[in-house]
Chain A
Amino acid sequence: MEFGSISFLFYFLPIAIILYFIVPAKFRNLMLFICNIIFYAWGETAYVILLLISIGFNYICGWDIASHADDPKKSRRSLAVAVIFNVLLAGFFKYYKWVLGTLNVLFSVEIAYRELPIPLGISIYTLQILSYLIDVYRKKVRPQKNLLNFAVYVSMFPQMISGVIVSYGEIESQLNRRAVNLNKAGEGVCFFIRGLAKKILLANGMGMIVTEIMNMGFGTYAMMTAWVGSAAFMFQIYFELSGYSDMAVGLAKIFGFQFRRNFAYPYMAVSVRDFWGRWHVSLTNWFHEYVYRPLGSDKKGVARTIGNTILVWSMIGLWYNDSWRFLIWGFLSGVLLVMEQYVYGKYLEKLPKAARHIYILVLLLLGWAFFFNTSVSDSFRYIGSMFGIGVQGFLNLQTISLLGSNWLLFLLCIVGSTPIGYYVLDRMVYNYRNGRGRGGIACLIYLLMFFLTITFFVSGFDSSFLYFSF
């Protein structure tokens, strides 16, 4: 089930909220768990059993690791078994087709294999489980006594498909006790509507431009059209991922949880390092804490730091998708981070902020080509088009028409990518002179946003999520 679907918005969510609010507080986790399982089973019935087995296995693993707390060797062995099992399980579903496909191409063989869809949210809940197990091993958290609380943490539907990775330590206390009230729920609804509007109004609009340009075919468009296509995708992916993150944060608030925000105006960055501090923060934090740090981070010499950085960012690329394009994208991100750190970072800092901003935007526009093209060769061909190779001139009527008919959408996306958009909305909703909210105006704005979104949605806009199978 997707957040932007009729069944979710008008059936599942209202019923889940009503039931959650009317049951006594001690049954709320049970109610939430039931909702999680229904959400999961909606489109992935076969994988519910796998999710339940995974919950049971990791709950036991947490206790197994903790039971050897006085024997580091046994504790480490227990952790290794748990980590290997979880990585192999997620790795099997995400990568076995890619690995076998690559072998078929490399050795010109035809190894036939059975195909299975990727279980919903497996990349998210695997990272969450690993954070729990590693933190139990590091004695940063105690193993969860209550199986239901652990099951709620692993299966929580708001973050299951949104890309928000909540480490166990962040949420441990909230699993036992959290404030559930109408004020917080109202705030959550506002977050949710903003996220939905970002997805349906902005991301989908930009997606249509990307599709239009991709359907034109190589060699039929001008060089600037290629840049427009990449810019459209840049906004599409940002508003899609950040929209879903906002929806997840909002839903979590409704159910009394507090998730951290996942995006902090990434296109305002002035370097690659700055970008990664703003983009998909929960993912980069996870890899930093549970992969980069154990590898020695930057404390074991320059060569090791370079290797660790490139390795971790290549893994991030592969986490997004099982494809060479994403591996190359992650690898290049790692290389750029290293270059900034050891080669030209000091010169970059001396440049005016606007120049640094242009630097990162150009890199991003080039880099996103690996996301929206369907093969490595097409990605490089598209990048070639952006530099005038095999195109129909620099600029033509097609480019002007694309920009002319979508200027308002581009303007909204540009404003929405900066703090200005949020600032304007915030000033309309809150009166900072008396420190009180303007309830009536807030209701009007968010209702309008919601109805506009629904209007676009029911008139045939695609609600599917770019990375539904994270």
Chain B
Amino acid sequence: MREQKKEKPLKKHQVVLKVVKYALALSALAYIAVLLLFTGGSSQSFEQISKGVEAVIDTDALTKMTVQDLKRYYGLNGADYEGVSLYVSKSSLSAAEVLMIRVKSVDQIAEISTAIEKRMDVRREDFEEFAPEQVNLIDSATVQIRGDFVFFTISDDAEQYKKAFTDSL
């Protein structure tokens, strides 16, 4: 029987190099997994995700707006994007809003972020005189960017809406 050639045992520094190498490789994989889970967008259609969010929206308090309203409130052209969904409070005493946009190109995210900031400034001015609690609500508004989706909420139910959005992705 042919004798199998034995491999030389690794030296101490070679073992260290291997351990560090595989640890770094694993950390890269773990980091990608984290990115996918917490920052990744979705291949699902805008309609599918929109349906998931709309299922939890309080339609007694919020009303769905048109692309013309998007232009009026945010200065954005709905036709420039893959999909747009905007809900605004029915009551003029509430600042509640939910906006979801799917961009055609990630370059568009910057202009949407700017439009959202401007909208928040306008709404702060609208409420600061008579409803300071609404100003606090506006200050606690959140913008989530997940892949090519932008999700913006001003609402007491923001956490619920955000959860519905991320679960739909």
Interface residues of A (CB under 8 A from B): 46, 49-50, 53-54, 56-57, 60-61, 63-64, 67-68, 71, 73-74, 81, 85, 89, 92, 97, 100-101, 111-117, 464
Chain B, Cβ-Cβ closest to A469 = B106
Rounded to whole angstroms, the CA-CA distance of A384 and B40 in the bound complex is 39
B7 interfacial contact with A, CB 8 Å? yes
Rounded to whole angstroms, the CA-CA distance of A237 and B106 in the bound complex is 21
CB–CB B17/A74 < 8 A: no
Contacts A71-B8, A92-B32, A115-B147; A53 near B43 (Cβ below 8 A): no
B14 interfacial contact with A, CB 8 Å? yes
Contacts A89-B28, A115-B40; A46 near B17 (Cβ below 8 A): no
CB–CB A115/B148 < 8 A: yes
Besides A46-B35, A117-B106, 15 other A-B contacts (C-beta < 8 A): A46-B39, A50-B31, A53-B24, A53-B27, A54-B28, A56-B20, A57-B28, A60-B20, A64-B14, A74-B7, A113-B43, A114-B42, A114-B169, A115-B41, A116-B41
CB–CB A114/B36 < 8 A: yes
CB–CB B31/A115 < 8 A: no
B65 interfacial contact with A, CB 8 Å? no
Contacts A53-B28, A74-B7, A115-B147; A67 near B14 (Cβ below 8 A): yes
Binary per-residue interface labels of chain B (1-37) against chain A in the complex, 1 for a CB within 8 Å, 0 otherwise: 0000001100101100110110011011001100111
CB–CB B18/A116 < 8 A: no
Residues of B within 8 Å of A63, CB to CB, are 17
Residues of A within 8 Å of B107, CB to CB, are 464
CB–CB A50/B28 < 8 A: yes
B44 interfacial contact with A, CB 8 Å? yes
Chain A, Cβ-Cβ closest to B30 = A53
Rounded to whole angstroms, the CA-CA distance of A73 and B147 in the bound complex is 43
Most chain A CB atoms below 10 A, which of B21, B36, B169: B21
Residues of A within 8 Å of B148, CB to CB, are 115
Interface residues of B (CB under 8 A from A): 7-8, 11, 13-14, 17-18, 20-21, 24-25, 27-28, 31-32, 35-37, 39-44, 106-107, 147-148, 169
Rounded to whole angstroms, the CA-CA distance of A56 and B11 in the bound complex is 21
Residues of B within 8 Å of A53, CB to CB, are 24, 27-28, 31
Residues of B within 8 Å of A81, CB to CB, are 21
Closest Cβ of chain B: how far from A70's Cβ, in Å?
Answer: 9
Residues of A within 8 Å of B25, CB to CB, are 57, 85
Closest Cβ of chain A: how far from B114's Cβ, in Å?
Answer: 14
CB–CB B24/A114 < 8 A: no
Closest Cβ of chain B: how far from A189's Cβ, in Å?
Answer: 28
A-B contact pairs, 17 of them (CB 8 A): A46-B39, A53-B24, A53-B31, A56-B20, A64-B14, A67-B17, A74-B7, A100-B43, A112-B42, A113-B42, A114-B41, A115-B41, A115-B148, A116-B39, A116-B41, A117-B147, A464-B107
Contacts A50-B32, A68-B14, A85-B25; A115 near B20 (Cβ below 8 A): no
Residues of A within 8 Å of B18, CB to CB, are 64
Contacts A57-B21, A57-B24, A464-B107; A49 near B31 (Cβ below 8 A): yes
* Residue in contact with A114 in the complex, picked from B8, B20, B21, B147, CB distance below 8 Å: B147
* Residue in contact with A56 in the complex, picked from B7, B24, B37, B169, CB distance below 8 Å: B24
Chain B, Cβ-Cβ closest to A60 = B21
CB–CB B17/A64 < 8 A: yes
* Residue in contact with A116 in the complex, picked from B8, B11, B21, B40, CB distance below 8 Å: B40
CB–CB B41/A61 < 8 A: no
CB–CB A112/B44 < 8 A: yes
Contacts A53-B28, A116-B35; A97 near B43 (Cβ below 8 A): yes
Closest Cβ of chain B: how far from A462's Cβ, in Å?
Answer: 9
Residues of B within 8 Å of A115, CB to CB, are 40-43, 147-148
Closest Cβ of chain A: how far from B26's Cβ, in Å?
Answer: 10
Closest Cβ of chain A: how far from B146's Cβ, in Å?
Answer: 9
Residues of A within 8 Å of B40, CB to CB, are 114-116
Rounded to whole angstroms, the CA-CA distance of A111 and B42 in the bound complex is 11
Rounded to whole angstroms, the CA-CA distance of A74 and B44 in the bound complex is 45
Closest Cβ of chain B: how far from A76's Cβ, in Å?
Answer: 13
Give the top 8 A-B pairs by smallest Cβ distance, nearest first.
A114-B40, A115-B41, A57-B24, A115-B147, A64-B17, A114-B36, A53-B28, A60-B21
